[in-house]
Structure formats: C-alpha cells, structure tokens
Amino acid sequence: MAGPQLPHVGAEFYSMFKETVELARYVFKNQNGTQFVFTGTGTTGMETSVLSLVTRGERTLTLSTGYFGHRMLLLNQIHGAKADTIEFKDGKAADPDTLRKQLRKSKYSVVFITHVDTSSSVANPVTDLVDECKDAGVLSVVDSVCAIGGVPLDFDRLGADIVFTASQKAIAAPPGAVLIAVSQRAMEYMEKRKVPIESYYMNLLRWKPIMDDPKMYLATPATQVLLALREAMLEVKEEGIENRWTRHRKLGDITRDRVEEWGQKFVAEEGHRADTVTSFWVENGKAGPIQKTLEEEHNIMVSRGIYDDRDRMIRIGHFGILSPEVLKRSLDNLGGVMDELGLVPRQVAVAKRRKKA
Ligand SMILES: Cc1ncc(COP(=O)(O)O)c(C=O)c1O
C-alpha cells in the first residue's frame, strides 16, 4: 500500500486484479460459482445481496442471532421486502428445525443467514441451515464477514447462493474491499428478474463483466486496498486455508479456556462459540474500565458490546495473523487487568498468583 499509487488502468492493474479474484476463489473454495471483488465493506456485501436478489414486495426471512442479523433485516425492510425474521436470543444459535418449520409455513424467495455474528460471537450451523433452504427450494445468503479465512467454509460444497466477506477480518487486510461468491443458480435468477435491480453500484449483474475483464469500467477501484488484499490472501495461501482454520480453532480454544478459568459467563451457547471472536458478560459498568486500562497499560485493544451491551460485555477478536503465543500473552494481560479491577473470582486469582510465584 505504501508503494506508488497504482493506476486502475494498465497491464499491471489488470493482472493484479485477475490474480486477486483467483486468490479469492481459493479462500472461498469457489471453483463453480462467480467470484466478485470490489471496493466496499461488509455492509456493501449485505446490501448488494439484498438488492441483487430481492424484488420489492417479495417475502424474505432473516435469521437473527445478534446485531448483524438485525442489520440484515433492516436492509430487507429498507429495500421494500416483506421481511420476516426469526430472532434467536440469549446467545442461542439459529436452529435448523425452527427454520424448516417456518419454510413450510410461508413461501420465501430468500433466506438470510449470519455465519458468525460478531456482536454475540454465535457461530451458526450454516451447513444445516443452507441444507434446509436447498430442500425447500429457497435461495440462501450467508454473511460470512466474521468467518471466512478463520472458520471452515467451502462455497462449492455448501451450495449457498451468495456468501460474502470483507477484507478486514480473518483475511487480515485493511478495510475497503468486499468479496462475494455467487452460485450459478443465483446468477441465472438475477438475469431472469422481471424488475431490474434497483441499484447502479450494488448490482451484481453490473459487476459481472468487470470480473471477467478488468479493462471494463464501472467505478474506480481502491487500487492500494486491492494490492493489500492480494498480499493478505497470498499469505492465506502460503499458510494453507485448512491450516488457517486449524490455527483459528486453537485460538478459539485458548480464549475459551481462559474465559472459563476466569469464571466469566459466555454470551454464546456452548457448541456454537466462534473461533474468530469470543464474547463474555462482565459486571455492568466494568466493560469500559477493562477496555481503557488494557489499552493504556498494555496497548491491547478489546471491544465492548454493541449498543445496549456496551457496559457489560467484552468481545475478544482472535483472527487474522494472530499467533497462539501472542494471544496467550494478551490474555495474560487481560486477566491481570480484570484481576486488578476485582473481576476474577478470588480463588482463581490466588491460584494464579501462586503459580506465578
Ligand atoms: C458479521 C458482520 N456482518 C457485517 C458486517 C459489516 O461490515 P462492515 O463494517 O465492513 O461494513 C460486520 C462488521 O463487523 C460483521 O461483523
């Protein structure tokens, strides 16, 4: 990124872009569908999916396990869908049986699923959920922003119609690019739409020719971001995507072990805790002091809950190029800060100090 500004026309850009799209195919395990990469964020992926697949007035279903599921519902509403939702509360994952029953009750054109909801750190059983959609003949969209590159996802085998992520999470590039895989079925569905897609930019049919031939122009790409994205995905390839999933499983296990050791309560139910992010409840009012002290004393940043949960939830992001060793050291510091603030149960804190001594 720090190199000279790469023009968005010319042989160097064209070949870099083609390589980037091929690397995205590797990261998604997408050999059968169409692969898109363009300037935007995760929200661009969300809104592009809604606009490209849903015609105003159609009935859609959004499975919500947190803030980002709710945002998906909102986008469906904004763009005129008759938008139903099933909300799974209290850290519960989306349940395939509940989905099956709902799909029998009403006819939907598209079901929207979050892979990992970053707000609750719930990891949903995407394979089973997408299978239900396939059985019912309904299109499915998976928001995998907080999963791809860290949590197993094989686009061709999954058989979802759209899966998207953004550059800045487990792929570990700077923000600014959205990556979207689209099934053959969804491409045909869009081509046959009676009402044209009501967007210029967030319109997969308009982006398709550019993916085939980057000499075509739709809008100027953020070239330096794409350069960084290519580099980050080369690192993914060098590590090997399966090895990366294994490393993230380890990062998840290390974090979960610590949270248990500290005696804190997980937000997500057992068996559905993500390998990319871990959330836990703390005493109300303590999330701010934990975040502030950790940053000031150790230069480590953790997140707090979103909106209503801001003062009582801590979220630890553990994805990207993070090593188990660095994570362990960071968790040592977080544990120390919580101890200083009197948040680690007495017996745990004493046992830890003894071990240290
Ligand atoms: C699961 C999920 N979906 C969508 C988004 C939106 O992505 P962005 O903030 O890049 O627009 C995020 C962002 O954190 C996310 O975690």
pTM assigned to the model: 0.96
Residue nearest to atom 14 of ligand 1 (CA): 118
> Ligand 1, from 39, 43, 116: best to mutate by most atoms within 8 Å of Cβ?
43
Q: Is 67 in the pocket of ligand 1 (CB under 6 A)?
A: no
Evaluate: CB of 277 within 6 angstroms of ligand 1. Answer: no
Site to probe by mutation for ligand 1, drawn from 39, 41, 171 as the one with most ligand atoms within 8 Å of Cβ, is: 41
- pLDDT score for 346: 64
CB 43 less than 6 A from any atom of ligand 1: yes
Is any atom of ligand 1 closer than 6 Å to the C-beta of 118? yes
Nearest CA to 171 out of 209, 96, 97, 225 is that of 225
pLDDT in tens, the chain (357 residues): 999 999 999 999 999 999 999 999 999 999 999 999 999 999 999 999 999 999 999 999 999 999 999 999 999 999 999 999 999 999 999 999 999 999 999 999 999 999 999 999 999 999 999 999 999 999 999 999 999 999 999 999 999 999 999 999 999 999 999 999 999 999 999 999 999 999 999 999 999 999 999 999 999 999 999 999 999 999 999 999 999 999 999 999 999 999 999 999 999 999 999 999 999 999 999 999 999 999 999 999 999 999 999 999 999 999 999 999 999 999 999 999 999 999 887 666 666 666 766
Look up residue 273 and give its DSSP letter. Answer: B
**Protein residue whose Cα sits closest to atom 4 of ligand 1:** 42
Atom 9 (ligand 1) nearest CA: 42
Closest by CA position to 204, among listed 11, 40, 7: 40
pLDDT of residue 344: 84
Q: Which amino acid is at 58?
A: E
Mutate to test the pocket of ligand 1, among 118, 121, 141, 303 (most ligand atoms within 8 A of CB): 118
Predicted pLDDT at 160: 98
Bridge partners (DSSP) of residue 123 are 116
Amino acid at 202: M
Give the C-alpha separation, 12 to 8, whole Å.
9
Residues contacting 224, CB < 8 A, separation 6+: 1, 3, 5, 6
Identify whether the C-beta of residue 72 lies closer than 8 Å to the C-beta of residue 64.
Answer: yes
Residue 278 half-sphere exposure, CB side, CA atoms within 13 Å?
Answer: 25
User: Residue 269: enclosing H or E segment and its boundaries?
Assistant: none
- 113, two tokens: 């699923």
Closest Cα to atom 2, ligand 1: which residue?
A: 145
Query: What's the half-sphere exposure (Cβ side, CA atoms, 13 Å) at 78?
Result: 12
CA 60 to centroid of ligand 1, rounded, Å: 20
Q: Which residues, including other chains, have CB under 8 Å from residue 108's CB and lie 6 or more apart?
A: 59, 60, 61, 84, 138
Tokens encoding 3: 């190199």
Ligand 1: which of 38, 68, 167, 169 to mutate, judged by most atoms within 8 Å of the beta carbon?
68
Task: State whether the beta carbon of 42 lies less than 6 angstroms from ligand 1.
Answer: yes
Report the alpha-carbon distance of residue 127 to residue 295 in Å, rounded. Answer: 38
Q: What is the pLDDT of residue 267?
A: 98
- Note the pLDDT of residue 310: 97
